[in-house]
Amino acid sequence: MNLVFLVLSAMLAMVGAWLLPLVGDLQRAAHVHLAFALGVMPLIMGAMTHFVPVLTRTGAAARQVQLLAGLAWQAGVLATAFFAFSLPPSVRLFAALLAVLAVARLAGWQWMRARAALGSPHPGVYWYLAALFCLLLALLAVAGMDAWPAQYLALKRLHLHLNLFGFVGLSAVGTLQVLLPTAAGQPDPQVAARLRGDLPAALGGTLLIALGAAWLPLLSALGLLLWLVPVGRLGVAWLARYRSGIFQRHGAMPLLAAALAGVVLSLLAGGAHGAGWLDSTGVAHLFVFSFLFPLVSGAAGQLLPLWFRPGRQTEWHDWARCRLTFAAGFRALLFLAAGLLVLAGFRWAAWLALAALLPFPLAALGVLWRARRA
């Protein structure tokens, strides 16, 4: 139930981040940290504790490892409160160090599981390790903001891009390559080779984008080109193998494919922002609406029934997935349209993203209620 809590918490955090500007005049960092630090970061870390044993063919994570995502969630609460209530800088530093502790412990556990794998571990594990490495650097940048105030803005940009394209981007793309074939019920025989070959470009692109955003913009352009290689290869492979499932009306596949499209759009918009053609607010909304919203709702729509009732898959699991991913094709289009329209300056399009998102937490609560009563 820890993973179920993290999914529902992430959904509520993202809806809350959407609503905050309507009910209060808080600085934008409060909205961002509500969605990312309190919602997305703990959810991704929790999902890793589910996927890593599968990818390494080892036993389930111990209870103390599963609780690391909860420790990160507490750090997210503190970080959000720091910006929402203008708390002392020591609160932000403590939150960052608390998250560092959780991330370092989780990375160490993943490394030991990779070493103990039956045979060679699935290369997706190394995408997770790379993602945690980026998150660790991003958190250490927070600690450096007070130590080197002259570099505050640069470290803030470094922190942001290491989180977006490093931690979230690497985790998401690594997971999508395994999750969409699972949702399709049709394995992808090229996934391991693609993950193995594309990680250097994705990680190198992330580091160049972050360093360029902080200090040398030309590096960001090079990083953007590097990142487009793995997502472009993945998109071509999916269209060749899963086209009919991607464009269906229901199921997780349309949402997962929309999340990949959202990654590509976010990378292109990030490059345009670096060139001074787009404002940061529009790019941030594109990332959230066209990438994060379909990613979380699509992945959770596929995985929540398994987390509700682990073990043998039954007709109930099929019913729950149908309920959670109903009209997913239409919702995926709404997510992409909302991100692009807000990027173009049509702020009212944020309502489209909310309309596409809300059916999922409502359906999840219904499924949870039925699962607990059965």
**pLDDT the model gives residue 368:** 83
Mean pLDDT of the chain: 92
Contact partners, residue 310, CB within 8 Å, separation at least 6: none
The one-character DSSP state at 79 is: H
Which tens digit of pLDDT belongs to each residue from 86-121? Answer: 899 999 999 999 999 999 999 999 999 999 988 889
> Could you tell me if 238 and 260 are in contact, meaning their C-beta atoms sit under 8 angstroms apart?
yes
Q: How confident is the model at residue 275 (pLDDT cuts 50, 70, 90)?
A: low
The pTM score is: 0.95
pLDDT at 274 over 60: yes
pLDDT at 339 over 80: yes
pLDDT at 1 over 60: no
Residue for token pair 């149908």: 322
pLDDT at 260 over 90: yes
> Could you tell me if 221 and 227 are in contact, meaning their C-beta atoms sit under 8 angstroms apart?
no
Which tens digit of pLDDT belongs to each residue from 26-54? Answer: 677 888 899 999 999 999 999 999 999 99
> Could you tell me if 69 and 5 are in contact, meaning their C-beta atoms sit under 8 angstroms apart?
no
**pLDDT the model gives residue 61:** 94
How far, in Å, CA of 29 to CA of 11, rounded? 18
> Could you tell me if 258 and 336 are in contact, meaning their C-beta atoms sit under 8 angstroms apart?
yes
Centroid of chain to Cα 355: 20
CA atoms within 13 A on the CB side of 160: 16
Q: Which two tokens stand for residue 69?
A: 């995502």
How far, in Å, CA of 345 to CA of 39, rounded? 26
